[in-house]
Amino acid sequence: MRWGIVAAGVVALAGNAWAQEPSALPFPTTCSGVAAARYQYSVSSTWKATKIAGGLRQPRSMIFDPQGNMLVLQATSGISVHTFGADGCINSTKTLVTNGQLNHGLSLTPDGTKLYASSVSTVWQWDYDAATMAVSNQKVVVQGIGQGIHSTRTTLVVPNKPNLLVVQVGSNNNWDMDASSINTGRACVRVFDMSAVPASGYQYNSGGWALGYGLRNEVGLAFDPNGMVWGVENSGDDFARTVNGQRTDIHIDNPAEELNYLGDPSTPSTNWFGYPTCFTVWDGSVIQDATLKTGDQMVVTSSGGANASFPDAMCAEKSIPPRLSFPAHTAPITNVFDADGTNMYVTLHGSWDRKPQASGYKVVQVPFTKKEDGSYDPVAAADSKTGFTDIMWATNLEQCNSPGLTVSSCFRLAGLVFDPAGSRLFVSSDNNAEGELFILGKK
């Protein structure tokens, strides 16, 4: 997935993060004044979906405040806030922040008092008042973020340590060789203490601490119920593998997109996840010079060529492989856990680099389990190709084509968040033709 440029992340506060007990709103089958869904889609037989808003501007991220109001980051526009009526539909909308630079990251402390949002270069903080739905006291808290083809900076408050802010930055290109250094401040995730922000904000590359690097573009970050971070990664495009001068195009089904375990955000981590050297196999059958299965890591280069000084086996030694893989080019961009950590949900924004058959353009459910030691882990094994099930998907996948990040002939599912009661799962499409919001619920 090449264009992080408009893309974005998501901010999901777990449904159990709220101080007061939220009341569940009904699941409407239709909302008055909302036009029909712009693109064809289906949902699985155990789920239902309703479009609840249209005509938005590239909605990338949604979050809820403690009063149950929904904040939406609309890329190139700003942040809006929406209230709900007793029927479960939106009954008022107002602009909270006007800022055309905002493009993805949006998060709120669990008490609802500090709001964060990001542009390509900067993270801002505001004081937020849920009762009046107003912001004040805007300030820069992180700045100097490097630029390149990936422009979104997923920005998340740590729910159980709300003074900590996690900020993600992707690589500056498909191949960003300098990102092999942790000091580059790209293809990495960093954490900043908001109780000690320098007067002009942290410099991204030197402030705070690392929570892993070698993460090509970890657009989606989510906290499991223990507060541990799981990232979903957009991997490389147009890959070939060359062995003894023989170049094989492997890009249709490789490399895999990834689900990575980043761990405890309060503990600095220099774990290396492989980029720009080690990539993950989705379909090993097209790599005929080696026996590699889904989830194994391999070496490739843009010019092709398994790297003699750094063979596949060294990836297994030095790089942390994903815990689970997704098909190539599906472009996972937001992930969120349900309140008890039984499932993680992911939006797969969809492909441009896989023709003729597109991939992604759906929401998937990844079953998790709580292990004896209390940690959360996917149910599926690391070499599984079936560690997730489809919840909502574009029905005309053959025709889905995305010549630009938000220009597409299908919906482009982006933001994902549960409402405070934890029963309604909100998903946005940031297709430039029409920004849409849907709710998903179990039947």
Ligand X SMILES: *[C@@H]1O[C@H](CO)[C@@H](O)[C@H](O)[C@H]1NC(C)=O
User: Which residues of the shown chain bind ligand X in the complex (CB under 6 A)?
Assistant: 83, 85-86, 91-92, 180, 277, 301, 305, 307, 309-310
Instruction: State how far the Cα of 259 lies from the Cα of 267, in Å rounded to an integer.
Output: 20
Q: Which is nearer to ligand X, 11 or 306 (CB)?
A: 306
SS3 (DSSP) at 4 = helix
Min separation Cβ 300 and ligand X, Å: 9
Task: For residue 248, give the nearest of 280, 216, 284, 273 by alpha carbon.
Answer: 284
- Nearer of residues 145 and 278 to ligand X, judged by Cβ: 278
Measured from the CB atom, the residue of 26 and 227 that comes closer to ligand X is: 26
* DSSP letters for 290-358: S---TT-EEE-BTT----TTS-HHHHHHHSPPPSEEE-TT--EEEEEE-TTSSEEEEEE---SSS-SS-
Question: Closest separation between CB of residue 86 and ligand X, Å?
Answer: 4
Nearer to ligand X, 69 or 77 (CB): 69
Gap between the Cα atoms of 252 and 352, Å rounded: 11
Q: Which CB, 113 or 180, lies closer to ligand X?
A: 180
Interatomic CA distance for residues 213 and 208, integer angstroms: 14
Question: CB of 236: closest distance to ligand X in angstroms?
Answer: 13
Return the number of the residue (263 or 305) whose C-beta is nearest ligand X: 305
Q: How far apart are CA 40 and CA 411, in angstroms?
A: 8
Please, what is the minimum distance in Å from the beta carbon of residue 299 to ligand X?
7
Nearest to 189 by CA among 268, 119, 117: 268
For ligand X, give the closer residue by CB, 237 or 338.
237
| CA 436, chain centre distance (Å) | 18
Q: How far is the CB of 267 from ligand X (least distance, A)?
A: 26
Please give the structure tokens belonging to residue 67: 């009063």
CB 49 → ligand X: shortest distance, Å?
A: 22
270 alpha carbon, distance to own chain's centre: 21
Smallest separation, CB 180 to ligand X (Å) = 6
Which residues does residue 74 pair with via DSSP β-bridges, in sequence order? 59, 78
Minimum separation from the CB atom of position 298 to ligand X (A): 12
Q: Which is closer to ligand X, CB of 271 or CB of 301? A: 301
Beta partners for 50? Answer: 439
Instruction: Return the H-helix or E-strand segment holding 189.
Output: strand 188-193
Q: Is 196 exposed, middle or buried (0-12, 13-18, 19+ CB in 10 A)?
A: exposed
SS3 245: coil
